[in-house]
Structure 1
Amino acid sequence: MYYPFSWIKSVARLVLFLIFFAIIGWYVEDMLLAVAMGATGLLLVNYWQLFKLNRWLWHSRKMSPPSVSGLWEHIYEGIYYLQRRNRNKRKELGALVKRFREGSEALPDAAVVVDSKACIIWCNRLARLELGLRWPSDAGRRLDNLIRHPEFIEYFHAGKYHFPIEVPSPLNPLKSFEYRIMPYGEEHLLLIARDVTRLSQLEEMRKDFVANVSHELRTPLTVINGYLEILPDADEQLNPFVKKAYLEMSTQTQRMQSLIEDLLVLSRIEASSERVYENTVDMAAMLNQVKIEADALNKDKHHNIEFHLTPGVRIYGIETELRSACSNLIFNAINYTPEGGNIDVYWSVTKAGVRFAVKDNGDGIEQRHLSRLTERFYRVDKARSRKTGGSGLGLSIVKHVLNHHNSKLQITSRVGEGSEFFFEFDAEMIASQE
């Protein structure tokens, strides 16, 4: 037990000890010699206590200190108190580490911790089972020497961990893993590997189903539309009911054909393996062709459409996909802007790269709808979309095209003031510029 004023007692003992030897020296008439002998004895006693302390700290197996008195008793008690406190802290830390390991072993994903040199520090049980890591024999080995898929190595060394990457399992090529890397602490990385085989299979099944169904529906719709075309025109002599049925069937058949065409386009984009950097596109020339189609569509809308195009800029990309994305944005503006509105189409060079934008002064879109506009079949106004003949897939096609070209659709809109749909490519996408 520590006493705050124990030093006073120790000093008093020292003074009494020296006074005792001073009295002896006075009695034998040599006070200096007696005090020196007392101090020497006191020094020898303290050195002996230091020797015992050193032996207890380094060689003794006993936790409890030896029995001593005086100032040394307090020193031993203080050291013993610190030892017990550190021992309790080590127990708490050990329990915390044990709980962390138990929790990490219960994770449904493989987890690996690596340092700044990509050397493995720790991994959980699923990492050993699914990634083929061995613990602790693989401790200190480089992770990129154990997971050697080229796409993973490129992703790991690029240092851009904002999005995960999906590659086959190192043990089973039939399995797909989603790798996600998160930096933390002092230059440490946490790798999470999740088995997404089932999700990948379901996504492939969905794509195949949509593509196959869309393709199969084309034949019966073509037959129906062919028979409708050879029927008499809906003139005044027809029964009003028959006339209405004929017009409705024609309208719905055309709408279904448009929907199927959009589904097939979307399926082709999703399944496309064409590399973006193998082709170049003259965007200004391509947009001039789209302008002819836009003018034809605008004939009955009476909009004021202006194209502001910077010529001579070629970018890397797939022309059919970029044409589909740009035309969808332009045609949407024509269809959804009130009659007589203003529509501006921009293709320009910026400091960061190039930019395409379609701006109108229509009704605008509420903020709550903006994040969902690129979802399939999502409509802000369903009644109005049916009236304009929209399939609900246009912006979804734009989204997938831009994903394929490493960009994304951005939307700004204010109700009653209009909307702007735009996307940008960085300077690396520019192939040449006159």
Structure 2
Amino acid sequence: MLERLSWKKIVVELLLFCLPALLLSLFIGHLTLLLLISVSCALLWHFYNLLKLSRWLWLDRSIMPPPGRGSWEPLFYGLYQMQHRNRQRRRELTSLIKRFRSGAESLPDAVVLSTESGHIFWCNRLAQQMLGFRWPEDNGQHILNLIRYPQFADFINHKVFDEPLTLGFNNGSYIEFRVMSYDEGNLLISARDVSQIRQLEEVRRKFFTNVSHELKTPLTVLQGYLEMLDDETRADIRQKALASMKGQTERMSSLVNQLLTLSRIEAAPRYQFNETINVPVLLDTLFREAEILSNQRQQIHFDIEPQLQVAGNQEQLYSAMSNLVYNAINHTPEGTEIRVSWSLTPRGAKFSVRDNGSGISREHIAHLTERFYRVDPSRSSQTGGSGLGLAIVKHALNHHDSQLNIESQPGQGSEFSFVLPLGRVIEK
């Protein structure tokens, strides 16, 4: 309908321009000349409107088109409508891109968009943090120039993305890469930090290996003695076998109990760490237990500040303290001196266990809180140690906003201590 109206207007405009020439020729003649002048005026009028259109499209910043007459009115209006639709589409596209980027920024993975050849055209903030990209400086860079590892280059160049690639970085982290093709010629590369998963898998593997090793020895002993009891009937041999089996079962029971304690400490919720703990009373009980365990093999001294109480979990804190004291008794030679102190310092409440035993080499200190780690495995087996005591101490202290400090030198003894922050000290 608009197109027909436009043609009608063009014909009417032409007639309007020619009509004066026709009327004037009736009086003065020269019809051809007058028609030529009329057509020239029509061309000049259209040329003037064309200039207005060009100025509006390229120079004028206003949204509204210039006023038009005749056949130019629908043209100006049509261009205005087309521009309005384009602006609306651009707004919708901009909004869609913003929503996409906002969603991509909220993902727990690093996201990189690239061409099929590997040239990057967008990445989220996590990619900048995890992979070290700089944006927008790295826009257009080839991804192999930014992630320079042979395994990753083979993964990208082979273009077989059925399985993810796990890559170990120089900083010790492990990143899992997944690549998906989309939109004909573009690649979506996602990266996830799986370092913690790898560490947990390694801990799980070591845990089962160590537990299997710990249980294998006592079970072998029990099996051997049971087979011997089938053949031997002498009372002295039977008594020796029963005593040995009892010791091995106690060792296995202690191992299981410590594993359960460690599991319980790791799973304990935070709200359980605000009860008032009368530490002097706990240490009085621990002193009596330590004397029984030592059986006068060491000289044990307790120096306790009688009014110093803290907030926390009594079971876990007592477990941490008792493990440190029992370790000192079990792993220091006869005749040594063990000093246990509980005092208030400017940093908080300090618990310390010091001995003048043989000490520990520097290379072992960093590993002492690892599960099943032993400085001397043969001696630990003799004393019944499981290698879990200091792991229990570490997790219990983490729940109390503290950490275990170890100072030791060969031949000069050792000190195991921790400080509970002032925020946990209860004034009396």
User: What is the TM-score normalised by the length of structure 2?
Assistant: 0.51
- 1:231 shift after superposition: 4.3
Partner SS, residue 38 of structure 1? helix
The one of 180, 183, 186 equivalent to 2:184 is 186
Partner of 1:60: 60
Corresponding position: 1:209 with 2:203: no
Partner of 2:156: 156
- 1:153 shift after superposition: 2.2
What are the superposed Cα offsets for residues 313-368 of structure 1, whole Å, 9 maximum, x if unpaired? xxxxxxxxxxxxxxxxxxxxxxxxxxxxxxxxxxxxxxxxxxxxxxxxxxxxxxxx
Contact 1:110-1:130 within 8 A present in 2 as well: yes
Corresponding position: 1:220 with 2:215: no
Structure 1 segment 130-145 matched on structure 2, within 5 A: 130-145=130-145
User: What is the TM-score normalised by the length of structure 1?
Assistant: 0.50
The alignment-based identity, stated in percent, is 43
- 1:9 shift after superposition: 3.8
- 1:192 shift after superposition: 0.8
For 2:128 and 2:230, how far apart are their aligned partners in 1?
73
Partner SS, residue 229 of structure 1? helix
Contact 1:177-1:197 within 8 A present in 2 as well: yes
Partner SS, residue 179 of structure 1? strand
For 1:46 and 1:6, how far apart are their aligned partners in 2?
14
Partner of 2:8: 8
Contact 1:180-1:191 within 8 A present in 2 as well: yes
- 1:199 shift after superposition: 1.0
For 2:110 and 2:51, how far apart are their aligned partners in 1?
53
Contact 2:111-2:123 within 8 A present in 1 as well: yes
- 1:184 shift after superposition: 1.4
What is the root-mean-square deviation in Å for CA atoms of aligned residues? 2.1
Runs of 5+ consecutive residues of structure 2 not aligned to the other structure = 232-428
**Structure 2 residue identity aligned to 1:48:** Y
- 1:117 shift after superposition: 2.1
What are the superposed Cα offsets for residues 188-225 of structure 1, whole Å, 9 maximum, x if unpaired? 11111111111111111111111112222222232233
**Structure 1 residue identity aligned to 2:172:** L
Runs of 5+ consecutive residues of structure 1 not aligned to the other structure = 234-434
Q: Which runs of 4+ in 1 moved over 4 A?
A: 1-4
Contact 2:17-2:42 within 8 A present in 1 as well: no
Partner SS, residue 65 of structure 1? coil
For 1:23 and 1:195, how far apart are their aligned partners in 2?
89
For 1:99 and 1:138, how far apart are their aligned partners in 2?
23
**Structure 1 residue identity aligned to 2:137:** S
Partner of 1:199: 197
Partner of 2:37: 37
Corresponding position: 1:22 with 2:16: no
**Structure 2 residue identity aligned to 1:180:** R
Structure 1 segment 1-400 matched on structure 2, within 5 A: 5-169=5-169, 173-232=171-230
Larger radius of gyration: 2
What are the superposed Cα offsets for residues 95-121 of structure 1, whole Å, 9 maximum, x if unpaired? 111111111111111111111221111
Partner SS, residue 193 of structure 1? strand
Partner SS, residue 5 of structure 1? helix
For 1:5 and 1:125, how far apart are their aligned partners in 2?
56
Partner of 2:406: none
What are the superposed Cα offsets for residues 214-254 of structure 1, whole Å, 9 maximum, x if unpaired? 22222223223323433448xxxxxxxxxxxxxxxxxxxxx
Higher mean C-alpha displacement, 87-96 vs 215-224: 215-224
What are the superposed Cα offsets for residues 267-305 of structure 1, whole Å, 9 maximum, x if unpaired? xxxxxxxxxxxxxxxxxxxxxxxxxxxxxxxxxxxxxxx
For 1:156 and 1:130, how far apart are their aligned partners in 2?
19
- 1:3 shift after superposition: 7.9
Partner SS, residue 23 of structure 2? helix
- 1:149 shift after superposition: 2.4
Contact 1:130-1:169 within 8 A present in 2 as well: no
For 2:138 and 2:182, how far apart are their aligned partners in 1?
21
Contact 2:17-2:39 within 8 A present in 1 as well: no
For 2:47 and 2:3, how far apart are their aligned partners in 1?
24
For 2:7 and 2:149, how far apart are their aligned partners in 1?
69
Partner of 1:244: none
**Structure 2 residue identity aligned to 1:201:** Q
For 2:91 and 2:169, how far apart are their aligned partners in 1?
39
For 2:87 and 2:194, how far apart are their aligned partners in 1?
45
Contact 1:118-1:144 within 8 A present in 2 as well: yes
Partner SS, residue 7 of structure 1? helix
**Structure 2 residue identity aligned to 1:46:** H
Contact 1:119-1:141 within 8 A present in 2 as well: yes
- 1:51 shift after superposition: 1.8
For 2:17 and 2:167, how far apart are their aligned partners in 1?
82
For 2:193 and 2:215, how far apart are their aligned partners in 1?
35
Q: How many residues align?
A: 231
Contact 2:114-2:186 within 8 A present in 1 as well: yes
For 1:41 and 1:3, how far apart are their aligned partners in 2?
24
Partner of 2:319: none
**Structure 1 residue identity aligned to 2:66:** P
**Structure 1 residue identity aligned to 2:219:** L
What are the superposed Cα offsets for residues 50-80 of structure 1, whole Å, 9 maximum, x if unpaired? 1221122111122212223111122111111
- C-alpha distance 24-207 of structure 1, shift in aligned 2 (>3 A): same
For 1:10 and 1:32, how far apart are their aligned partners in 2?
21
Contact 2:161-2:179 within 8 A present in 1 as well: yes
Partner of 1:297: none
- 1:151 shift after superposition: 2.2
Partner of 2:262: none
Contact 1:2-1:78 within 8 A present in 2 as well: no
